[in-house]
Amino acid sequence: MKILCIGDVTSPAGVGHLERKLRAFRRERAIDLCVVNGENASLITGISPDLAERLFLAGADVISGGNHTLRNKAAYRYLDDTACILRPLNFGDGAPGHGYCIAEACGKRVLVACAMGNVHIDPVLDSPFDAIEKMLKAERGGYDLALLDIHAEATGEKLAVAHAFDGEFSVIFGTHTHVPTADLQILPKGTGYVTDLGMCGETGGILGMNADDVVLRVRSHLPIKFSVAPGACAADGCIFTVDQNGRTVSVERVRI
């Protein structure tokens, strides 16, 4: 099974880029399942139902989330009603939406989950370790392989989650920092891993945003409103190839 995972969509233009490019890329690379982190699709204000629908139509099978997912209250009903769009599962049972879903690919039941770290990120949620363990226990026997988006700032925390659950997931990938990392690896028990997929959006600035706005905000500490970067769009991600036993056999970085 070939699984394509794409980093944080940072703007509506990133959604448009996937609408133009993703279906053809999936055909070209024979992708069986595609997970897109869409938490910033509405320009760092969460994701709207219409942008989520556009991502599904573009070729995403599952949309994962992060710390901004619940900022758009207009999406709460959509998150409740739509199985394959996720917010971090460690928000707790009282939050709108779902922390995981069961998708289907190649005749297999694929559990796709999203959890959020605690280090240098806001809001600070319940322990991702406890939430992941609870989910795996509850769903044991109900899936054939599992994927995890660990949405976190600290690289060490992402790696700690990966090593703690090596062998429990076929694939663990990090999101949130918007910077693609070079540490593609297969952990000892067969879990494919990368610390951060990168992003999908305008490439000419800082993490998808206009560089002048970011510099002014960092230097002045004032609540400067960000605008999008001026560059062309690109989508960063990885392709994980998983064997019939649920072990990753290769990890490849891609840019669309």
Please give the mean pLDDT across all residues of the chain: 96
Predicted confidence band at 70 (pLDDT cuts at 50, 70, 90)?
A: very high
- In this structure, are strands 145-151 and 171-175 parallel, antiparallel, or unpaired? parallel
68 belongs to the catalytic site: yes
pLDDT in tens, 94-128: 899 999 999 999 999 999 999 999 999 988 899 99
CA–CA gap between residue 238 and residue 66 (Å, rounded): 18
CA–CA gap between residue 185 and residue 252 (Å, rounded): 10
What type of residue sits at position 54? R
What predicted TM-score, i.e. pTM, was given to this entire model? 0.95
Q: Which of 17, 68, 98, 151 is catalytic?
A: 68
Q: What per-residue confidence (pLDDT) applies to 43?
A: 83
Write out the two tokens for 174: 């990090």
What beta strand segments (E) does 152-230 contain? 171-175, 185-186, 192-194, 199-202
CA–CA gap between residue 33 and residue 2 (Å, rounded): 7
Predicted confidence band at 93 (pLDDT cuts at 50, 70, 90)?
A: confident
Query: To which H or E segment does residue 27 belong?
Result: helix 12-29
Ordered by where they begin, the domains of the chain are 2-203+237-255 (3.60.21.10)
Q: What per-residue confidence (pLDDT) applies to 115?
A: 98
Predicted confidence band at 2 (pLDDT cuts at 50, 70, 90)?
A: very high
